[in-house]
Structure 1
Amino acid sequence: MINKFKYLLLGAVLAVGLAFSLPHGEESKKDKVIVNLVYNVLNTSHFAPQVINDDFSSKVFDHFIESLDYNKRFLLASDVEGLEKYRTKLDDEFKNSELNFFDEAFGVYDTRFNNAKGYFEEILAEPFDFTVEESFETDDEKLEYAKDEAELKERWRLYLKQRALGRIEEDMHDQEKALADNDTTVDQKTFAELEEKAREKELELHEDWFNNLEDLERIDWVGVYMNSITNIYDPHTQYFAPERKEDFEISMTGQLEGIGAQLQQKGDYITISKIITGSACWKQGDLEEGDKILKVAQEGDKEDEAVDLVGMSVRKAVKYIRGPKGTEVILTVQKLDGSKMVVPIVRDVVELEATFAKSAVLGEGEDKIGYIRLPKFYVDFYGDSNHNCAEDVKAELEKLKKDNVKGVVLDLRNNGGGTLQGVIDIVGLFIDQGPVVQVKAPGTAPKVLSDKNKGTTYDGPLVVMVNQFSASASEIFAAAIQDYNRGIIIGSKSTFGKGTVQNILDMDRAVNFTYNDVKPLGALKLTIQKYYRVNGGTPQLKGVVPEIILPDNYNYIEFGEKEEEFALPYDEIAPAKYTEWKEGTGAYAKAIKNSNKRVKDSPKFALIDEYAQWLKDERENTVLSLNYEAYHKEQDEFREESKKYDNMRKTDDSIMVASNTVDIPMWDATEEKQKERDRWFKGLKKDLYLHEAFEVAKDLK
């Protein structure tokens, strides 16, 4: 959760470099001001200030080298060894506002950058031989730096060969499928023609990639180095370099205008870092956080007209994805399991209404259960609206009570958080006064934040749905409900595990007028507090563990805050004074037992668990054959195996879903609203996870 949002910022740390001249005059002064500001703010205001010593220096050294050449395709082992003299000096440089290591490292990188440009041009000039037995390691962490230029060039050859192979195999598969389907719209080309086409595409792609890097300025790379420092404090503390004026919107929002997603550049790939609630891609449903965008095409484009985004900068990629409302963009993405999916999205502005709480009635008669979907903990974030998440949830509860529901399911899946006061107020709808969450800044006593309103809006059975993307405010809510024993939490093996709060400092406001000549200086996002549950624990790292755990894609893949190298640790403080909920809790044990049996006996959940294991196994298989026949066979087997998982998350038994009585006129008002309702209800009826939450709620009544 971030306090006092001034603007939304891209969370990208580019893992590449480029040449530039050494600083002089105002540029050198600007560097020193930035480093000095970052040093002073981090060590006076961060939640957990670091000891700036040789150990700190060593961590910064490793982090920056990795950021500079994440894929190990530029630097030699001897280059890194030559920079080792700085390993224990960066603490002193940081204190003295110096960038000697940074400048020398980029000098070395400049040479290797230009060498690599020659490598790919030479390699792609000749056909690849896909009949020989060669392989490519896709996990960069398993690679060592090349010992000499010959080994480095060979690494480039294998890298480019596997990229070309992927293109060829995909085209050949499409041609084979077209023949089998008697589809004459797909051109049938020879292997040699497809091989040449693949190399031409790779040449074009890498020329653009290198040119894009050369367009970046020194301040961008100072930012990369600053983040090698800030990330040692924690993964959410980050320096943002000022962007050029024409890129202002992109740099401030990090948003793919038209589809509603935020992105990061990680190595060669642009990845989806966040789905904007209510946006076009949120409504479409196929795009997920962590997806890598491989290609983008426009409505009406032929297949070979799709633009390859691998290696492209965020700035350039956005230009292909943006477009007028109502037009279609087609993204080819790579999912976490390595599979590829074509995702067509009709561009739109973010539909703010889709971020609001809304409700429906599940089941009928004595089995009627209320359902509330809360996509985020919002407040009046557009300036002219009366919407507030707590007031809206309260209104939905009142509607459901009029329909005499016997329980309520509150859905917080994929809810990344929002306003702190909002979550406190919503917890207050379900408890009769009391502490909700504790916050602690460094050197201060914990502050207990409480619901001070007497009484409850709803005191019946409650089930809260979460998943691994439920974070921050969602975790505060789930933790409070769990600590009070107010309801049952159901979902993934744990929520995300982010228990920290950040503030954003505009660095231009942190200096006086004598530094106007070096502005803009950028911004610093800073972790300033930690959240704690009322029982004294924190969501940090551990998240919230549900009483009922449902299998999902991440069963065997570690995910969330705990996977961050420098995440702040889990700790505990004294619990707040609170009284557990008593009414109706006697049914909890039976409801949990019944659910566990249903899940154990469910073929669908068994298939999801099998898929999760398969996904893990696929991720661990990091070596690709570069022999076409072997690779083609592997891909065919992969495609065939994945078919059985296509509908695993849809239940075979539909839930009866209806509007609450109060909202019927609203849904019936226009044809557009009717279609929106029907789309929503269609998804709810077949939602396997909601079906189980519904059964749990029935067991609690």
Structure 2
Amino acid sequence: MNTILNFMKRNYKILVAILCLSVVFFAFNSNAKKDNDPERDKLLLELLTFVIEKGHYSPAAIDDAFSKGVYKDYIQALDPSKRFFLQSDIDEFSKYETRLDDDLLSKDLTFFNLTYDRLMLRMAEGKKVYKAILSKPFDYSIDENFNTDYDKAPYTATAAELKDRWRKQIKLSTLSSLTDRLKIQETKAKGTEETSEVKSDSLEMDLLDKAKSDKGVENSAPKTFEELEKETRVSAEKSLDEYFGFMNDLDKNDWFSVYINSITSRFDPHTNYFAPEEKERFDVSISGKLEGIGARLQKKNDYTEISDLISGGPAWRGKQLESGDLIMKVAQGNGEPVDVVGMRLDDVVKKIKGPKGSEVRLTVKKVDGTIKIISIIRDIVEIEETYAKSSVVEKNGFKYGVIYLPKFYIDFDDKGGRDAGKDIALEVERLKAANVDGIVLDVRDDGGGSLSTVVDIAGLFIQEGPIVQIKSAGRKKEVLYDRDKKIEWKGPLVIMVNSFSASASEILAAAIQDYKRGIIIGSKQTYGKGTVQNVIDLNQFVRNSAMGDMGALKTTTQKFYRINGGSTQLEGVRSDVVMPDRYAYLKMGERDVENAMPWDKIDAADYTIWNDNAKFKQAIANSKMRISQNDQFKLIEDNAKWIDSRSEDNTYSLNIDKFKTAQSSIEEKAKKYKPIYEYKNSLKFNSLPNEIDALNKDAILKEKRERWHESLAKDIYVEEALNVLDDLQSKAVTTKAMPVKIKKGKLAKS
């Protein structure tokens, strides 16, 4: 949920000037190492605290209360399941609970070094513990329980108690897997098709399928309880090996980033430090593109595996690299190949990525066991899933368009590159060419992005006027306007939101709602993030490159407000039509996050509401009536309450008979909600004509679109959005109504 504001050049220049003057206070060692250098860490602390104090919208006081918060967050981040530290460790650490504010200001790293060294020791001990536990069968006849509410669990006093906690954690995991395997086997023996109702993770299913294929038969003989029990331990050990392999890949700088972010998050939840690799990933996420080969990688023990190829990328176009290939060596052009087996995933990625036009040669082990050298010319790779897409559907004699916007993306380094504003304008233009009678703009799960694109997108649906108000600390408000009098789409409009629609999504929904330009439907309220962040490259303030890449800081510099003066902070945007949500009762919004900034309001802007909304009230009333009478929505609401009631149930029996009984009871109750997942509407969604040629040439893109269309045909929320468009239709020619002007939040004739 990151809102980047490029309208803040004035404030940013002031901040840069202050920081440039402050650089004289920083002393550097020209021979300093780039990795695990305490002088670099101290410099980073000084940079971060200075930038936050000077640039943050409302910086917190660095005092004992601040120190306690940092301590709590950091210890929890290091050991969230309380399976590494002993109570004696915590007793030792707690001496620093109210000292971290002083340590921060004096750049004292004693606490960090103490906790890091202790964690490395405890992790090494933990690896021996799980290996020993999984070396022999579990006794599932013992009557014992395990509580997974780690927040309320105490730290263990002795190594023996900690080992027992490990044992119970692992036993619960293997017990769940074992009961799944037993049920799958029983189901196969009955010759039924009930396996779809059995919960089993993909790894376990892969093991079962592999075992079947290894024997070369479709229906292998049933396995004994002992054989299945052993399989679960093998699977659990493999998962833990991969977990510890990932943890071993983290170096001291990675853990220092965890410590740094425990500090920055005390100012507010969206002030974060980006280590160099994280900054790169953030840039990719906000722009939707990168320079490389277009492959997603994952760690598989000591190997780096190709998990997926990005459609349209150079690796995909080359047709030599495949999912499942293992990368053994990487060479730059004609250079010497470097062995990457056992190398950190981030380091492998660095070697494979590179500028457009350069060559990389990968030595890979194919899925059939053969070794092959594959040459790929790097190029700009666009991540298609980042970008807006649209579909058309016919309903009750009308044709409607559905646009999905996953993120408010923009490339700040390339003004001619793709951005959400231009892409949505293009999708609207294409839908108009297809003669649609209404548009649904879906920003569900859209965590935000560029604020400038919000102004462009909202401006497509109004003649002109303010879109959002911005306020910086100690400065007058700034109003961002759509100044283009052209209205790209004048017809019926529905905006779909949910609890995870945040930041830029909320600005768009709020503007459309305040203008009464469209109807907002979805969860009771959106996420509630009403703050603006700037990303500041810390390297510009460092004179000595020997320190290495210092990363970047994303810090909250402003708050934004609706044009009616209200803030979306905490409260979010309340839907005109509330649709039941399975997760409606769980705590997941900004209002549930510690250190969130408060709600407030400012004066309203001057704006003119949309004058063609005669059917608004009736359409909203009709939708509310349909939802209240719809059995599917009633079931979703009932399911939400059930999920909420189960969220406090954290105790599990480790006795197999009692565990089976409890799981059977849960599964029996869950059957009631099976129709939620099986729901299908009678609508058929299709791609626009401009996309048809691309789909015929790109099998991967075609499959993705088909999956999206299938999901739309199962989406009752989209169906109700289209019902609202039905209610907004008016084929009769109407006379132009007198515009109504909002001035300081009051109605006035213009």
Q: If the TM-score is normalised by the length of the shorter chain, which range does it land in?
A: 0.7 to 0.9
Amino acid paired to 2:560: Y
Residue in 2 aligned with 1:448? Answer: 479
Check 1:162–1:658 CA distance in 2 against 1; reply closer, same or farther (3 A cut): closer
Amino acid paired to 1:237: T
Residue in 2 aligned with 1:193? Answer: 227
- Does the Cα contact within 8 Å between 2:503 and 2:530 map onto a contact in 1? yes
- State which of 383, 390, 399 in structure 2 corresponds to 1:358: 390
Residue in 1 aligned with 2:176? Answer: 166
Residue in 2 aligned with 1:345? Answer: none
- State which of 247, 250, 255 in structure 2 corresponds to 1:221: 255
Check 1:449–1:384 CA distance in 2 against 1; reply closer, same or farther (3 A cut): closer
Using the TM superposition, give the Cα deviation of residue 68 of structure 1 relative to its aligned residue in structure 2, in angstroms. Answer: 2.0
Residue in 2 aligned with 1:465? Answer: 496
Mapped to 2, the partners of 1:455 and 1:610 lie a distance apart of 45
Mapped to 2, the partners of 1:462 and 1:37 lie a distance apart of 47
1:678-700 alpha-carbon deviations (Å, 9 max, x no partner): 65554444431122111112212
Check 1:383–1:649 CA distance in 2 against 1; reply closer, same or farther (3 A cut): farther
- State which of 72, 76, 83 in structure 1 corresponds to 2:93: 83
- Does the Cα contact within 8 Å between 1:499 and 1:538 map onto a contact in 2? yes
Residue in 2 aligned with 1:202? Answer: 236
Amino acid paired to 1:446: K
- State which of 652, 663, 686 in structure 2 corresponds to 1:635: 663
Amino acid paired to 1:440: K
- Does the Cα contact within 8 Å between 2:130 and 2:166 map onto a contact in 1? yes
TM-score by length of 1: 0.77
- Does the Cα contact within 8 Å between 2:391 and 2:685 map onto a contact in 1? no
- 3-state SS in 1 of match to 2:496: strand
Q: After superposition, where does 1:47-66 map in structure 2 within 5 Å? A: 47-66=57-76
Are 1:135 and 2:164 an aligned pair?
A: no
- State which of 565, 587, 592 in structure 2 corresponds to 1:563: 592
Mapped to 1, the partners of 2:391 and 2:52 lie a distance apart of 44
1:494-549 alpha-carbon deviations (Å, 9 max, x no partner): 22222222222332222112xx3322333322222222111122222222110101
- Does the Cα contact within 8 Å between 2:279 and 2:551 map onto a contact in 1? no
Mapped to 2, the partners of 1:45 and 1:108 lie a distance apart of 35
- Does the Cα contact within 8 Å between 2:32 and 2:546 map onto a contact in 1? no
Residue in 2 aligned with 1:346? Answer: none
Mapped to 2, the partners of 1:160 and 1:102 lie a distance apart of 29
Residue in 1 aligned with 2:203? Answer: none
- Does the Cα contact within 8 Å between 1:406 and 1:698 map onto a contact in 2? no
Residue in 2 aligned with 1:284? Answer: none
- Does the Cα contact within 8 Å between 1:466 and 1:492 map onto a contact in 2? yes
Mapped to 2, the partners of 1:591 and 1:358 lie a distance apart of 24
Mapped to 2, the partners of 1:210 and 1:405 lie a distance apart of 54
Amino acid paired to 1:564: V
- Does the Cα contact within 8 Å between 2:48 and 2:553 map onto a contact in 1? yes
- 3-state SS in 2 of match to 1:232: coil
Q: Which of structures 1 and 2 has the bigger CA Rg?
A: 2
- Does the Cα contact within 8 Å between 1:136 and 1:623 map onto a contact in 2? yes
Residue in 2 aligned with 1:696? Answer: 724
Using the TM superposition, give the Cα deviation of residue 258 of structure 1 relative to its aligned residue in structure 2, in angstroms. Answer: 10
Give the count of matched residue pairs. 614
Alpha-carbon RMSD? 4.1
Q: After superposition, where does 1:125-524 map in structure 2 within 5 Å? A: 125-181=135-191, 184-186=218-220, 188-207=222-241, 209-210=243-244, 212-242=246-276, 352=384, 355-365=387-397, 367-379=398-410, 387-401=418-432, 405-513=436-544, 516-524=545-553
Amino acid paired to 1:520: D
User: Percent identity, aligned pairs only?
Assistant: 39
Mapped to 2, the partners of 1:279 and 1:619 lie a distance apart of 42
Mapped to 1, the partners of 2:689 and 2:489 lie a distance apart of 22
Mapped to 2, the partners of 1:187 and 1:48 lie a distance apart of 67
- 3-state SS in 1 of match to 2:615: helix
- Does the Cα contact within 8 Å between 1:438 and 1:448 map onto a contact in 2? yes
1:430-471 alpha-carbon deviations (Å, 9 max, x no partner): 222111001222222221101112242333332211122322
Are 1:92 and 2:102 an aligned pair?
A: yes
TM-score by length of 2: 0.72
- 3-state SS in 2 of match to 1:489: strand
Check 1:180–1:423 CA distance in 2 against 1; reply closer, same or farther (3 A cut): same
- Does the Cα contact within 8 Å between 1:537 and 1:573 map onto a contact in 2? yes
Residue in 2 aligned with 1:19? Answer: none
Check 1:248–1:192 CA distance in 2 against 1; reply closer, same or farther (3 A cut): farther
- Does the Cα contact within 8 Å between 2:3 and 2:451 map onto a contact in 1? no
- Does the Cα contact within 8 Å between 2:146 and 2:654 map onto a contact in 1? yes
Check 1:164–1:649 CA distance in 2 against 1; reply closer, same or farther (3 A cut): closer
Mapped to 1, the partners of 2:662 and 2:131 lie a distance apart of 29
Q: Any stretches of 5+ residues in structure 1 without a counterpart?
A: 6-23, 265-274, 281-296, 300-312, 329-348
- State which of 19, 40, 44 in structure 2 corresponds to 1:34: 44
Residue in 2 aligned with 1:581? Answer: 610
Mapped to 2, the partners of 1:503 and 1:652 lie a distance apart of 43
Using the TM superposition, give the Cα deviation of residue 613 of structure 1 relative to its aligned residue in structure 2, in angstroms. Answer: 2.2
- Does the Cα contact within 8 Å between 1:175 and 1:187 map onto a contact in 2? no
Residue in 2 aligned with 1:292? Answer: none
Using the TM superposition, give the Cα deviation of residue 481 of structure 1 relative to its aligned residue in structure 2, in angstroms. Answer: 0.8
Mapped to 2, the partners of 1:550 and 1:314 lie a distance apart of 42
Check 1:195–1:425 CA distance in 2 against 1; reply closer, same or farther (3 A cut): same
Mapped to 1, the partners of 2:633 and 2:516 lie a distance apart of 27
Mapped to 2, the partners of 1:363 and 1:277 lie a distance apart of 34
- Does the Cα contact within 8 Å between 1:240 and 1:523 map onto a contact in 2? yes
- 3-state SS in 2 of match to 1:179: helix
Mapped to 1, the partners of 2:622 and 2:503 lie a distance apart of 30
Residue in 1 aligned with 2:746? Answer: none
1:651-691 alpha-carbon deviations (Å, 9 max, x no partner): 554236567xxx54753686458956765554444431122
Mapped to 1, the partners of 2:235 and 2:678 lie a distance apart of 39
- 3-state SS in 2 of match to 1:616: helix
1:64-92 alpha-carbon deviations (Å, 9 max, x no partner): 22122211112222322232222221111
- State which of 68, 72, 83 in structure 2 corresponds to 1:73: 83
- Does the Cα contact within 8 Å between 1:223 and 1:241 map onto a contact in 2? yes
Residue in 1 aligned with 2:574? Answer: 545
Amino acid paired to 1:158: K
- Does the Cα contact within 8 Å between 1:504 and 1:524 map onto a contact in 2? yes
Q: Any stretches of 5+ residues in structure 2 without a counterpart?
A: 7-30, 193-216, 300-307, 314-322, 326-343, 354-361, 368-380, 730-750
Mapped to 2, the partners of 1:186 and 1:429 lie a distance apart of 61
Residue in 1 aligned with 2:740? Answer: none
Using the TM superposition, give the Cα deviation of residue 132 of structure 1 relative to its aligned residue in structure 2, in angstroms. Answer: 1.4
- 3-state SS in 1 of match to 2:557: strand
Residue in 2 aligned with 1:3? Answer: 4
Residue in 1 aligned with 2:676? Answer: 648
Amino acid paired to 2:230: E
